[in-house]
Chains A and B, each alone.
Chain A
Amino acid sequence: MSKIKTCVSLYSLQDEYLNKRMSLEDIMWFVKESKAEGVEILPDQMLHGAPDISDETLERWNKIIKETELKPVIADVFLNTNIYKNRELTHKECVELLVKEIKQADKLGIRLIRLVSMVPYWVLEPLLPYCEQYNVTVALEIHAAMAFDIQETREFIEEMKRLNSTYIGLVIDTGIFCRRFPRVVKKYELNNGASKEMFDYIDALFEKGTDFHKERKKNDGKFPEDFMKTMKTEEDHMFAHLCDGYENYSYDILDEYMPYIKHFHLKLFEMTEEGPEYSMDYKGLLQYLHEHNYDGYVATEYEGNRFTLPGTPMAEKEQVSANQKYIRECLKEIQG
């Protein structure tokens, strides 16, 4: 029996926060009103001084959690391996930074950490005693363009399997399940001077059931010749490198990893007026998770904010609400 629960990542409301239209308190109450059960936070985004937060910040956080009764589900953690310009951090320094994050998560009442993609596998074994001591799980994000076919991800998965601990796992970002290229990204880039032909090429790949990441991979990581022909403007050359961040995996890629999956990011580019997200079939994914007895949260992660056309109002709140409503309806139908 699945136990799929709803959550909102505060990443979704970053523009409201950046431009001081909403405080952390306002945002948490908004999440509560959206009827989500849990909340996901990027400490580096909305908690000053992280991972060395002050007692005052901690008290403020505890107060909001107590008042809203939101479950603090997961902290999104980054590893600044390149904090210095002239060298990479040593293994010891990397582990020390992540130990701080584990201790901070514990203080915040959070039991799960999302490690950003590309975090090296060798941090896991030294971190494990801290995970056990503080009862905090660490899970690598599987994100489009940095997913199962990338060496760093494969190494992490291998180490995760070798260590075989309940404190190590994966977070899946549903940007790996795009069935169409997000049209908000396309519109934004066209407005910036990118060529329509470039997107026609990518759209055609999705129509064939594949994606640009796979095509590029098949071509030894280089841009395919037909794609190169579509690149005309300066913007094309800039954006071309970001085109493979939208992948088209089938859900059964998860079969092997279900025992390790701790959390999902429901990547959101655009909730359509008809209900579903434009690029991703959440209902199909939730059905898959139900059939595989997933017990965990699925968190709205709105990223269309980044692709809002100049002069167009930011729709973070509307998109999050629409997403939560849709997910709730899907779950009611699927889980009863």
Chain B
Amino acid sequence: MFDNNVFLDDSCKNVVENGSVIGYEMQTNITYYRGIPLSMIEYIRVSKDGDDEPLENIIISIDKIDWFTLKEAETVTSYKWEYGEPLYIRILEEGGLSKGTHKIKLTVATRTAYIPVPLEGSKERIVEI
């Protein structure tokens, strides 16, 4: 139901820091119709060419200043992921995405208090590096 919100087009690219590629990054809108604190993200999954990325390699941010691992985000209640604003998702992986075409799939789920199942959205995009 929220698939259309996930994985903004043209947002996936390698991240260069101090001259080296430290991983890759993408942006997504929220899988909900309102903003919530980062602690209410139930899960995020990323797969590259069919293989799941290790969860401990994923970090997220709403401002590209303060980054949290998924485990850390579970207690982050004062940073709000606003409706209509992107969440930045980075996969820390030396070298990032190699030159060529990749299938990147992003799945995002948020928790609500009144619906027993998380609100999930998923999208796969073909990414050209």
Contact = CB atoms under 8 A, between A and B. Distances in A.
Contacts of B84: 17-18, 20, 46
A1 interface: no
A287 interface: no
Interface in B81-111: 82-85, 111
Contacts of A46: 83-84
Nearest to B78: A52
A18 B77 CA distance: 22
A11 B117 contact: no
A14 interface: yes
Contacts of A44: 34-36, 83
A11 B37 CA distance: 20
A44 B34 CA distance: 5
A331 interface: no
Given A18-B84, A118-B114, A83 B39 contact: yes
Contacts of B1: 306
A49 B81 CA distance: 9
Given A49-B80, A80-B40, A83-B77, A118 B113 contact: yes
B124 interface: no
B57 interface: no
Q: DSSP class of A's interface residues: helix, strand, loop or mixed?
A: loop
Nearest to A17: B84
B37 A83 contact: yes
Contacts of B69: none
Nearest to A146: B114
Interface string B111-129: 1111001000000000000
A45 B114 contact: no
B61 interface: no
Contacts of B85: 48
Interface in A56-111: 78-86
Contacts of A18: 5, 29, 83-84
Contact of B113 (A45, A80, A85): A80
Given A83-B39, A83-B40, A306-B1, A11 B114 contact: no
A208 B34 CA distance: 37
